[in-house]
Amino acid sequence: MTLPYDAETAAPESGPERSPAGPAGAGSVSGHPPQGTERTTAALSDPENRSAPEETPGHAPGPTEATTPGAAPGTRSGPAPAKPAAGGRRGRRGRKALFLTVALVATLLLLALVSAGTGAYRIPTADVLASAQHRLGLGGAPLDRVGESVLWNVRLPRVVLALLVGASLGCAGALMQGVFGNPLAEPGVIGISAGAAVGAVAAIGLGLSFFGNWTITVCAFVAGLITVSSVYLLSRNGGKTEVVTLILTGIAVNAFAGALIGLFVFFADSGQVNQITFWQLGSLAQATWPKVLAVLPCAVAGLLVAPFYARRLDLLSLGERPARHLGVDVERLRLALILVVALLTAAAVAVAGVITFIGLLVPHLLRMANGPGHRFLVPGSALAGAVVLVAGDLAARTLAQPAELPLGVLTALIGSPFFFWLLRRTRRKQGGWA
């Protein structure tokens, strides 16, 4: 490989410098470097300028310029290569992201309408729309007394709660994978959901009520924050988060959380045991408007804050050292996102119990569809998580009628094979764990 002209002729500091002389390019010894040599040497040693050195009168020819001794510097030996169409790729990716966003929003609206009308008491979609228009003062007509009660007091709170919980878990999964730099990070897999459930179960088992309706949410948030901090500290080794350490830490945290939940079950009465079982299995069967209002501020705050960290997550994916050189305060970024993840996970667990694999499955599907850029991945994961959980809740209510499947069990049955496939794929890429 032929080095640039000035790099070839630049001599060490301790020796004399060679400078081009004459049309043939014969070197002559002088006490000073030729004009442009210092700039070119600095450009070669600076990683930020290496890709695009500044052109000066003394700058050496590029790869397409003549580098033979008889050629004058700056003379090109052939046409310049065509630049890659990076703008075209970005445009195509932007159009694909827009298409996926529109498709997800349309699917979510359609699923919400179908879910609101499907159940033991069936309500046609047209009647659902007419009732909604009547409530909004846009015309339409109300349903009968039973239909209005079922739609507005049973079905719609459940649909809205599924939307909030799914969006929270999907967004939390995308943030965790970006923070840990690991595709296997997910609130349920590494024990954060179980840790938050311990806080909620403790509030139930001990009869705590110091924050009123917010008590379970606050306890779940504190326990989730402690859990995610512990996982983060224990899985770090040499400044990196290893796959094996992350999974083993999650196994240990899940086991410890299960033991604590079992201890609370042992000391609880029959009414508390039923509530604790609800948290372990995960369900939206007890959805009400007060529960929606209890989780709404936490979920909305986390979902609104998360997209503002998208660019810094993209920089962090280059590695910690490049991210620091580009102006990212890595530790502060991690701390802020850990708080956001704990807030989103606690909001979901406080009203729905432990629902796993949403945060693992959804970001991966979106990466396969549109790449790893977080500007679309973070809000897209929230939308896709809402779609998946609304569809999952509809399946849980209808697959085994008149009984109802636990939602957490259903998502685990679907997500576990995907996790196993992802684990094997990661191991093949890394050539094994050893």
- Say what the pLDDT of residue 11 is: 39
- Say what the pLDDT of residue 372 is: 86
DSSP 121: S
- Say what the pLDDT of residue 165 is: 94
pLDDT confidence band for 294 (50 / 70 / 90): confident
- Say what the pLDDT of residue 371 is: 85
Each residue of 10-68: pLDDT tens digit? 334 434 444 444 434 344 333 444 444 444 343 433 434 443 433 344 444 444 444 44
- Kindly report the length of the chain: 434
For 376-404, the DSSP string reads HHHHHHHHHHHHHHHHHHHHHHHTTTTS-
Beta strands in 271-342 (DSSP E): none
Integer-rounded Cα Rg, in Å, for the chain is 29
Chain centroid to Cα 93, Å, comes to 18
Which structure tokens are listed for 66?
């003549």
The model scores a pTM over 0.75: no
- Say what the pLDDT of residue 431 is: 58
CB contact set of 214 (below 8 Å; sequence gap of 6+): 294
Return the closest-CA partner of residue 115 out of 170, 164, 162.
162
Q: How far is CA 297 from CA 72, 300, 336, 348, in A?
A: 69, 5, 18, 12
Return the closest-CA partner of residue 393 out of 161, 194, 148, 122.
161
Is pLDDT above 90 for 103? Answer: yes
Q: Reduced to 3 states, what is the DSSP secondary structure of residue 164?
A: helix
Spatial contact of 374 and 178, defined as CB atoms under 8 Å apart = yes
Which structure tokens are listed for 220?
């779940």
Provide mean pLDDT across the span 176-190.
82
Spatial contact of 164 and 295, defined as CB atoms under 8 Å apart = yes
CA-CA-CA-CA torsion for 216, 219, 221, 222, nearest 10 degrees? 180
Provide mean pLDDT across the span 98-102.
92
How far apart are alpha carbons 320 and 352 in whole angstroms?
A: 35
* Least trusted range by pLDDT, from 10-24, 165-179, 416-430: 10-24
* Least trusted range by pLDDT, from 69-83, 118-132, 137-151, 315-329: 69-83
Q: Is 202 exposed, middle or buried (0-12, 13-18, 19+ CB in 10 A)?
A: buried
Q: How far is CA 60 from CA 71, 72, 85, 393, 405, in A?
A: 12, 10, 26, 66, 71
Q: Which pairs count as long-range contacts for 217-220, CB under 8 Å and 24+ apart, including other chains?
A: 217/294, 217/295, 217/298, 217/346, 217/347, 217/350, 217/351, 220/196, 220/346, 220/349, 220/350
